Amino acid sequence: MNLEDLCEKFSHVDPFLIKKWYYAFDTFFDFIGNDVIEWQDFEQLINAIGTVRGMEGEEHIAARKSLTDVWHSMCDEIHKDYSDKVSFALRYTLKKAPT
């Protein structure tokens, strides 16, 4: 789903916020660039940190632990299996849903 479609789908939300959230989703989480967040994105980021900071170094180990926790927490929050993919629209919709 492209940015224009998201703004149309969530027309009750300020388009600036949709663009801001989409940018964060795309920049910080969709490491592979396939418009979904999945475990592979986190693995790629963990491996990139290991490559730059040293495989099995302190930063690499910390990244593996913390990013695994982030992925599991996000999946648990939106009731997704750890092997699933999360789209921006799904993530936004579920985050805004009443608890």
Give the DSSP H or E segment for 70: helix 58-77
pLDDT at 98: 44
pLDDT surpasses 70 at 96: no
pLDDT at 99: 40
Domain count, the chain: 1
Q: Is residue 20 part of a domain?
A: yes
Report the CATH number that the domain containing residue 34 is assigned in CATH.
Answer: 1.10.238.10
Residue ranges making up the domain that contains 49: 15-96
Give the DSSP H or E segment for 87: strand 86-87
Q: Is residue 80 part of a domain?
A: yes
pLDDT in tens, 13-68: 899 988 888 888 888 889 888 889 999 999 999 999 999 999 999 999 999 999 99
Q: Is residue 22 part of a domain?
A: yes
Q: How far apart are CA 36 and CA 97, in angstroms?
A: 20
Q: Is residue 6 part of a domain?
A: no
Reference 44, options 18, 10, 67, 14; nearest CA is 67
Q: Is the pTM of this model over 0.85?
A: no
